[in-house]
Amino acid sequence: MEEAYSGIMVYAEAAGSGLKCSARELMGHAGILAAKIQELENKQVPVSAVILGPQNLEPAKTLTGFAGRVYWCDRKELTVYHPGLYAGAITGLVEKYRPEIVMFAAGPAGSELAATCAARLKTGLAAHAVELEINRDGHLVQLVVSYGENIMGEILCPAHRPQMVTVQSGILEPPVSGTAAGELIREEIDLRDDGRLTITAIEGKGNEACRLEEAEVVLAGGYGLKNKKNWLQLEELADLLGAATGCTRPVLDEHWVDDEDLMIGISGKTIHPRVYLGIGISGSSHHTAGIQKAGWIIAVNNDVQARLLQMADLRIVGDGPAIVAEMIKIIKGGNTST
Amino acid sequence: MEFRFTGEQEMTCKLAQDFAVEEVLPLAREVDEKNYCPVEILKKMAGSGFNGVFVPQEYGGTGLGYVERAIVLEEMARCSAGIAMTLMTHHLGVASILQFGSEAQKQKYLPGLSSGNLIGGLAVTEPGGGSDVTGHQTTATREDGSWVLDGRKCFITNSHIADVVVITARTGQDEKGRPSLSAFIVEKGTPGFAPGREENKTGMHGSVTGELVLKDCRISEDALLGKEGHGQKIALAIISEVGRAGMSAISLGLLRAAIEESVRFARERIIYGKPLANIQAIQFAVAETVIEYEAAKLLTYRAVTLKDGGQRCDSEMAQAKYFATEAAVRAAKRTIDLMGGYGLLAEYPAERLLRDAMTTLPSAGTSNIMKIVVAANTLR
Amino acid sequence: MNIYVVVKPVPDPKTKLTYDPEQKTVIRAGLATVINPPDKNALETGLRLREQSGGRVTVFSLAPPSAGESLKETLAMGADEVYLVSDPVFAGSDTLITALILARAISAIGVPDLVLAGDRTTDSGTSHVPAQLGEWLGLPHLANACEIVLRDQKNLAVKTSLDEVFISYRVTLPAVVSVTRRINRPRLATLLEMVRSRSKPVTLLDAAALNLSPEQTGLNASPTKPGRLLPARPVVKEGTIMSGTVGEMAQEILNRLQSLGYGPKAGGGLG
């Protein structure tokens, strides 16, 4: 059964006329995995990409630099993300081309799509992989952040095909360009729309949502802030510094913030600021998975054992809220010379 | 012997804690600094079923008991003892009417007291005597089918916010010439009845305590609560069972807050390169507070369990109140000592815990009175 | 309107889990469980829809029998009934099989107008189950809902929150929708509702009740299998550590920011 499946397929998302960063990262991952399987099993491993939407010809062409084959569905019903139709298209392509591995970028749409496709294909799906490996048997091993204090778990899908995975972004340096001279194939896919789900509106989120991912300086707060008042104070400091704010899951659990777009880490945002300043954050792997690519890390924590401190370039052992208040005072007072 | 809460009591604990953290905790520091009672919170508490927690459902109450009431008060007090005190005092008015009221009085007041529409209170203490109930100067005289009340009550919590106050007054003398008291239900806004001065207490700032002044205050015959001459009995029953239980429960909240503050500080403060918690003297202090909390908890919940069982419990209530309140004071001081200089800064809760704990001591009877009650029961 | 809410009891996110290096497992014994926070958002959504148009809110949960107590909180929040779907043979099920079991339970009791769920759990956090549940039930499904409005008897208007856009859909009932935390603020359970809940049914549905055999469920039936558990790689980095007065530490951070080229915006003292 496994022999009938071959190759790695990536679901790629576009950003304007180019590719999303996550798409290029996935192509990078796919290339590495393909090379590993090739070496192990002495066989060719084709790498393909899927992109949907009539507006995405340019991104589809770009993908031909990374994949041997690019499958592009240009049906107009696929212009805007429609979970049922998109899943139908992807599933149809998987059934037609039978890749042994299918990869999606973890994210609100990617995770929904991957789950839907996995259910239709009755196969296994691992979520938010931070590392991918091929084991001796040629199986994909997905490493995910497990529940608990800084524990990673391996997930395998030994007996079902394809092996599906959503991959946490920001883990791999995305290749800027590729050397493949892939083939662009316009795919005619039979889309059955039973009319139970219809798109009625689409609106951009504006700058705020992207702010965190594009910001050069991020000021993040965690459970160590102790209360909502201190969170609001952190927001004030971020404002004064021109920094974007981010948080950890406990901050959401405590309802100091209700916007999960601010959460950094697994199931949240991956960021790559030049400077990351983490206040009252212990640094569990759930969160730190989202700051792998941060430049300078400054951490403030009362607990000298905090994991985030071990990862930081500048480690401040002190009371987060008090230091935030003091920083605000210094900035406002204009009294900055030491 | 079962030493565990039932499933419903566990849920009461969780629910009360979630409410306290969400609604009471954000106000705690502010009401302490600005010294006011956030009356609106009583309406929210009513929504959760706290105001009439031990009132039967047929009168609009939640239909639970004094154990659940203690759980609720403990959780409120852990966040703010002052705000808990407001609820606790409201319950004194509620319990008076529930235990001694006529059917008509119960129907008239209990639904409103349970729903958050009415706030309750109890006014017994006078300048002439707190512990000495017979030192009453307030009088109630019959006149043309009404009662006319004259006098002054002091140290009355909820004085300025209560809608319905149960007040004791002299209505005559007994056969030995000692004053005989009766209890009355007086509504806010009755002409001749008004709050007087507001006291500035050192602690329990989330509650308002002050005077109530009665001057030619005319109330109807059916405002008499219970039988004429039963005022002392009513006052003592409510204070000794509902008041003392309430103060014990509030002290449990203070003790828990003391433990949490001590632990947090001991873990975070680095001294000689290690957390303070590594130092044995600090460990002893924390252990002492924990042991006292556990002991106070057992005494308190035993006493309220007896009350829910309809059994006599005045000695047990006195034991619990004496131990829990004094333990809370010791725990608060221990916490401040552990924190060094930081313990005296207003930005940490510790010093507020001490002020609040001190303020529990004279309420529902002083520690010495508690000892007299226990001794009387023992040496009888 | 007949509404089901799928709920999962999870370890209290506030408690620190410890790792047993011998057994290579997370120590779960004696942990307090709470309702997965986003599931409370889903329940709140259901309760509000019931307030609006009448009906019933039923909670389904695939969990061990001990979870029964923590599920009572959903009743104390206002749910009408709980089905605890539980059987030792379900243990180790991955998301596909979990969704299958829940689908069977839902079909057995009767497909409602709407199935709601929180978008992800705080323990495994995959976010897969709601979509897969929709697939097994053959119902249209949507994830990431941040707004739900009942348009009429048969249709729901749902706004979803993606990375950079909000997309709104009309979905025909019956359907499965998973919600994000920003959709609402869940109400607190009340004592009044807790007392009312004494008469609300909590029913156990086991494998036999659902006509499921051990081969169809559990670890063996699951396409994904767990491998090893490994401690996260310790991060070894050179860094400067400092402590001092609050003022000194605050100044140090500001100095470092300035040296990296970042400082407060105009109006402050730093350039």
Residue A172: predicted pLDDT: 76
Domains, chain B, ordered by start: 7-119 (1.10.540.10), 121-231 (2.40.110.10), 233-379 (1.20.140.10)
pLDDT score of C71 more than 50: yes
What CATH architecture is C2-221? 3-Layer(aba) Sandwich (3.40)
> Helix B350-360 and helix B244-268: axis angle, to 10°?
160
Q: Which residues of A touch C250 (CB under 8 A)?
A: 323, 326-327, 329-330
Answer whether residue B247 shows pLDDT above 70. Answer: yes
Task: List the single residue in C122, C131, C224 with the smallest CB-CB distance to A116.
Answer: C131
Q: How confident is the model at residue A78 (pLDDT cuts 50, 70, 90)?
A: very high
65-104 in chain C: CB under 8 A from chain A: 94-96, 99
CA–CA dist A297, A276 (Å, integer): 5
Q: What is the pLDDT of residue C25?
A: 57
CA distance B243 to B249: 10
- What confidence tens digit (pLDDT) does each residue in C131-164 have? 999 999 999 999 999 999 998 889 999 999 998 8
Cis check: omega of the bond before C174, within 30 degrees of 0: yes
Confidence of residue C268 (pLDDT cuts 50, 70, 90): very low
Reported as a pLDDT band with limits 50, 70 and 90, residue B133 is low
pLDDT at C17: 65
Whether a cis peptide bond, with omega within 30° of 0, leads into A162 is: yes
Do residue B15 and residue C195 have CB atoms under 8 angstroms apart?
A: no
pLDDT (0 to 100) of residue C21: 62
For the four alpha carbons of C118, C122, C123 and C126, in that order, the dihedral sign comes to positive
Residue B190's Cβ-count burial label (10 Å; 0-12, 13-18, 19+) is middle
Q: Please tell me the distance from the alpha carbon of residue B297 to that of residue B151, in angstroms, as a whole number.
A: 39
Mean pLDDT computed over B317-341:
96
Please compute the mean of the pLDDT values over residues B92-118 and round it to a whole number.
98
A21 CB within 8 Å of a chain C CB: no
pLDDT tens profile B31-50:
999 999 999 999 999 999 99
Under an 8 A CB cutoff, do C191 and B19 touch? Answer: no
pLDDT digit string, tens, across residues B220-241: 999 999 999 999 999 999 999 9
* Residues C31-60 pLDDT 10s: 778 999 999 999 999 999 999 999 999 999
Would you say residue A113 has pLDDT above 80? yes
Q: Which residue of B has its CA nearest to C34?
A: B14
Q: Compute the average pLDDT of residues C176-199.
A: 96
Contact B49 C191 (CB under 8 A): yes
Give the pLDDT confidence of A319-333 residue by residue, as tens digits: 899 999 999 999 988
Interhelix angle B314-339/B367-379, rounded to 10 degrees, is 140
Contact B268 A319 (CB under 8 A): yes
pLDDT above 70 (res C26): no
Q: Which residues lie closer than 8 Å to C198 by C-beta, 6 or more apart?
A: none
Residues of chain B with Cβ-Cβ distance to A303 below 8 Å are 267-268
Touching partners of B (3+ C-beta pairs < 8 Å) = A, C
Task: Tell me, yes or no, if A232 comes closer than 8 A to chain B by beta carbon.
Answer: no
Q: What is the pLDDT of residues B336-356, one digit of tens each?
A: 999 998 899 888 899 999 999
Tell me the mean pLDDT in the region C169-196: 96
Tell me if chain C has a CB within 8 Å of the CB of B112: no
Residue that wins the pLDDT comparison between B361 and B179: B361
Nearest by CB to B268, from A227, A228, A302: name it: A302
- Dump pLDDT digits (tens) for C81-99: 999 999 999 999 999 999 9
* A122 Cβ under 8 Å from any chain C Cβ: yes
**Where exactly are the structural domains of chain C?**
2-221, 239-271
Give the pLDDT confidence score for residue C200 in this predicted structure: 97
Tell me the average pLDDT of chain B: 94
Put simply, whether A1 touches B (Cβ < 8 Å) is: no
Burial A135-147, CB ≥16 within 10 A → b, else e: eeeebbbbbbbbb
- Going from the C-alpha of C190 to that of each of B13, B47, C7, C38, the distances in angstroms are 11, 7, 19, 19
Q: Which residues of A touch C230 (CB under 8 A)?
A: 143, 151-154
List pLDDT tens digits, range A201-243: 999 887 665 678 888 999 999 999 988 999 999 999 999 998 9
| Confidence (pLDDT) at C19 | 62
What mean pLDDT is predicted for residues A53-61? 95
Residue C270 has pLDDT above 50, yes or no: no
pLDDT of residue C229: 86
Q: Would the CB atoms of C224 and A323 count as touching at under 8 Å?
A: no
Stretch (H or E) spanning A287: helix A285-288
Provide φ and ψ at B172, rounded to 5°. 165, -155
pLDDT > 60? residue A115: yes
Chain B contact set for A227 (CB, 8 A): 25-26
- Whole-number pLDDT of residue A209: 57
Exposed / middle / buried, residue A133 (Cβ in 10 Å: 0-12, 13-18, 19+): middle
Q: With a cut of 90, say whether residue B93 has pLDDT above it.
A: yes
What is the reported pLDDT for C216? 95
- Classify C34 as helix, strand or coil: strand
**Do the chains contact at C250 and A327, CB–CB below 8 Å?**
yes
CB burial of C110-128 (b: ≥16 within 10 Å; e: otherwise) equals eebbbbbbbbbbbbbbbbb
pLDDT above 90 as % of chain B? 88
Residues of chain C in contact with residue A136, where contact means CB-CB under 8 angstroms, are none
The C-alpha atoms of residue C19 and residue A285 are separated, in whole angstroms, by 14
What is the C-alpha to C-alpha distance for residues B334 and C110, in angstroms, rounded to an integer? 60
CA gap B93, B90 in Å, rounded: 6
pTM of the model: 0.90
Taking the Cβ of residue B127 and every Cβ of chain C, the question of whether any pair is shorter than 8 Å is answered with no
Give SS3 for C149: strand
The pLDDT tens digits of the residues spanning A171-207 come to: 777 777 777 889 999 999 888 889 999 999 999 887 6
Put simply, the answer to whether A108 touches C182 (Cβ < 8 Å) is no
